[in-house]
Amino acid sequence: MQNDSLFIKALKGENVERPPVWMMRQAGRYLPEYIALRNKYDFFTRVQTPELACEITIQPVDHIGVDAAILFSDILVIPLAMGVEVQFIEHKGPILPKTITTQKDVDGLIIEENAIATLEYVSKAIKLIKTELNNRVPLIGFAGAPFTILCYLVEGKGSKNFDTAKQFCFTQPKLAHQLLNKITDVTIAYLQAQVKSGADAVQIFDSWSGLLGPKEFNEFSLPYLNRVADSLSQIVPVILFPKGSWYALEELSKSTASAIGIDWCIAPKVARATTQNKKTLQGNFDPCRLLLPVPQIQKEVKEMIDAFGKNKYIANLGHGILPNIPVENAKAFVDAVKNYKST
Amino acid sequence: MQNDSLFIKALKGENVERPPVWMMRQAGRYLPEYIALRNKYDFFTRVQTPELACEITIQPVDHIGVDAAILFSDILVIPLAMGVEVQFIEHKGPILPKTITTQKDVDGLIIEENAIATLEYVSKAIKLIKTELNNRVPLIGFAGAPFTILCYLVEGKGSKNFDTAKQFCFTQPKLAHQLLNKITDVTIAYLQAQVKSGADAVQIFDSWSGLLGPKEFNEFSLPYLNRVADSLSQIVPVILFPKGSWYALEELSKSTASAIGIDWCIAPKVARATTQNKKTLQGNFDPCRLLLPVPQIQKEVKEMIDAFGKNKYIANLGHGILPNIPVENAKAFVDAVKNYKST
């Protein structure tokens, strides 16, 4: 039903009049309507109550006018489904009190159907969202990449360098691959369930892959990104976003994914050259620049689209929107894309 | 006197039998001899007492056998000298309670001679170190890059993304450049004083430049790196280490610096090609990999040197050594470089 949408057309590489636009973390903390719900319900209530997840998912479609909705959820629902306790302390980030570091820990994880069964609330939310959206825009499902989920399982919390998680991979590679395979199995089943419920595309967030060098990325991240992409790309367009892994662009352009997300450190022309125009590219406005005056945002958005080209391109930020971005600036970003005319 | 040292020869691009080796943060938290002093003296006492700074600087020369010593100090002595309060809470990182964000704040900073006058303890430490080293190995002086110092002045603490500091630069560029110029003036005078006291080379740490995209790097980091390099490179070899700014390698290879430090995300062959072999390269072993068994460290060090080539190369880590690295592994890294033979 969404094949005529700009977003799906851009993912399929079809010509468009202007690129589609959405923003990572568009359903969230910069929106007063979201903050009102955050003040009433704790994080897991918001994620696990289909009606709330639906309302939050649709807020940026109604208030900002983005060309795609993205499911309101969190990448850490996967550890939770695998039987690992996850605590969310507002403004503090996640804590996993019992980390996964031994063979026994890995053996004890809940996998496949048993894990997915506990994620029924996501399927319900997606069905509700699709009904409420009523084909206005497509819905993006998502999951964390296996390496990024491993980072949290092993480190037990957010971290600047995830040294403990990396050291686990480097010193116990066999166990790391067992863990990555289990995460991958659950993630594939989870994303397939999202598609079955109505997701029109899926994005894989590898938020911490950029902490790996090229060799380590090829060992601990890429094979699992590819396995996820291969298992989904027959049924739905897949977007891979390995944040900071600029060195992997050429390799990623050989994947079965439709699109690759990039951050603002990669110049558009470099990204196009490295991927040889094989993939749709998504990004890469620095969220910090959304604090600039609106006329400057408009100017820079135009320059960004000119540099990427209007086809095979999805306008987005290079990372999640920041809590202190004024709503009118977020809207100015989106409107600037919508008003794009090539000269 | 140090012109015959491997380290200075590598910086000058002269042929060597094997590359020199040192490790970022080699004087520090993984060394039992350092921890003993840390348990007795607080951070600023260690930094500001020439005898203690000297002892700590020489520890890794004595115990690990590195080919260069680096002054034990901190990049935040510059804010301190400029009249900004800096608190160090052990294991927590720095806090600057009064951040610099307005014209009045910038105008109120202490600059040039008045700032340098308070850094006399560094000159005393360097003279003491040079006497104690007695020409065994060269001594590296250092400072933070102006952009990285701005990050701390504006943000007031360590941060994953330094969003506040970046937003300051993007929304108040004129004031940011005023601030960067003041920091640069003090930094140049400070490094010249270090050289006058005996430093044989200097390294500029731009720890946070990788948070900027290429355009922003060219505006807020590069001109100041170049101004520092230009003011020092006539008297001493300069090493620039803009962590994470892989996209700037080509531009940096046009600078007057002798060497460029790189992290493990940049493959040696990519770095050589991008810098067209114009500069000595320094790096780039992932500190996490120092937890591997010694035979594997030996193997990977050999591969690293083979990939960079033994000339115009300084073996080092791609970032500071981690507190949990066993001393024998650090030593194995250094010894593996010293035992290098090309095949």
| Pair of tokens at residue B323 | 């507190």
Confidence (pLDDT) at B1: 57
A74 in catalytic set: yes
Distance CA B153, CA B155 (A): 6
Chunked mean pLDDT (size 10), chain B, 343 residues: 90 97 96 96 95 98 98 97 92 92 98 92 98 97 98 96 97 98 98 98 98 98 98 98 98 98 98 97 98 97 98 98 97 98 81
| Pair of tokens at residue B168 | 């300051």
Say if the Cβ atoms of B292 and A170 lie within 8 Å: yes
Distance CA B202, CA B223 (A): 18
Query: Thinking of the domain B6-338, which architecture would CATH place it in?
Result: Alpha-Beta Barrel (3.20)
CB B272 within 8 A of CB B308: yes
A335 in catalytic set: no
Confidence (pLDDT) at B155: 98
Distance CA A343, CA A340 (A): 9
* DSSP-derived secondary structure letter, B290: G
Distance CA B271, CA A101 (A): 35
B74 in catalytic set: yes
| Closest in A213, A287, A322 to B264, CB measured | A213
Strand partners, A203: A142, A239
Which among A30, A152, A313, A340 is annotated as catalytic?
A152
Q: What is this model's ipTM?
A: 0.94
Q: Which residues of A168-197 are buried (b: 16+ CB within 10 A; e: fewer)?
A: bbbebeebbbebbbbbbbbbbbbbbbbbeb
Q: Cite the DSSP H helix spans in B39-161.
A: 43-48, 50-63, 77-81, 103-107, 112-117, 120-133, 146-155
pTM over 0.80: yes
Residue of B265, B290, B299 to mutate when probing chain A, most A C-beta within 10 A: B265
- Which chain A residue shows the shortest CA-CA distance from B267? A214
Q: What number of other Cβ atoms are within 10 A of residue B175's Cβ?
A: 17
Peptide bond into A284 cis (omega under 30): yes
Q: How far is CA B209 from the centre of its chain?
A: 13
| Closest in B167, B292, B318 to A171, CB measured | B292
Confidence (pLDDT) at A1: 57
Dihedral sign from CA coordinates of B130, B329, B4, B143: negative
Which among B41, B74, B185, B286 is annotated as catalytic?
B74
- CB burial class (10 A; 0-12, 13-18, 19+) of residue A87? middle
Distance CA B214, CA A247 (A): 15
CB A100 within 8 A of CB A84: yes
- Which chain B residue shows the shortest CA-CA distance from A270? B247
Helix (H) or strand (E) holding A335: helix A327-338
B29 in catalytic set: yes
Say if the Cβ atoms of A265 and B288 lie within 8 Å: no
Angle of CA points A7, A258, A145, to nearest 5°: 105
The A-side interface with B (CB below 8 A) comprises 160, 163, 166-167, 170-171, 210, 212-214, 216, 244, 246-247, 264-267, 270, 286-289, 291-292, 318, 322
| Closest in A160, A246, A322 to B246, CB measured | A246
- Which chain B residue shows the shortest CA-CA distance from A323? B163
B227 in catalytic set: no
Distance CA B171, CA B174 (A): 9
Domain ranges within chain B, ordered by starting residue: 6-338
By C-alpha distance, which of B214, B18, B225, B160 is closest to A160?
A: B160
By C-alpha distance, which of A241, A167, A250 is closest to A210?
A: A241
Which among B30, B34, B152, B340 is annotated as catalytic?
B152
Distance from CA of B121 to the nearest CA of A (A): 32
Peptide bond into B284 cis (omega under 30): yes
| Pair of tokens at residue B27 | 């004087």
Q: Over its length of 343 residues, how does chain A's per-residue pLDDT go in tens digits?
A: 588 999 999 999 999 999 999 999 999 899 999 999 999 999 999 999 999 999 999 999 999 999 999 999 999 999 999 999 999 887 788 999 999 999 999 999 999 889 999 999 999 999 999 999 999 999 999 999 999 999 999 999 999 999 999 999 999 999 999 999 999 999 999 999 999 999 999 999 999 999 999 999 999 999 999 999 999 999 999 999 999 999 999 999 999 999 999 999 999 999 999 999 999 999 999 999 999 999 999 999 999 999 999 999 999 999 999 999 999 999 999 999 999 998 7
- Which chain B residue shows the shortest CA-CA distance from A287? B163
Confidence (pLDDT) at A92: 80
What one-character-per-residue DSSP string does B197-253 give? HT-SEEEEEETTGGGS-HHHHHHHTHHHHHHHHHHHTTTS-EEEEETT-GGGHHHHT
Say if the Cβ atoms of A247 and B266 lie within 8 Å: yes
Say if the Cβ atoms of A292 and B170 lie within 8 Å: yes
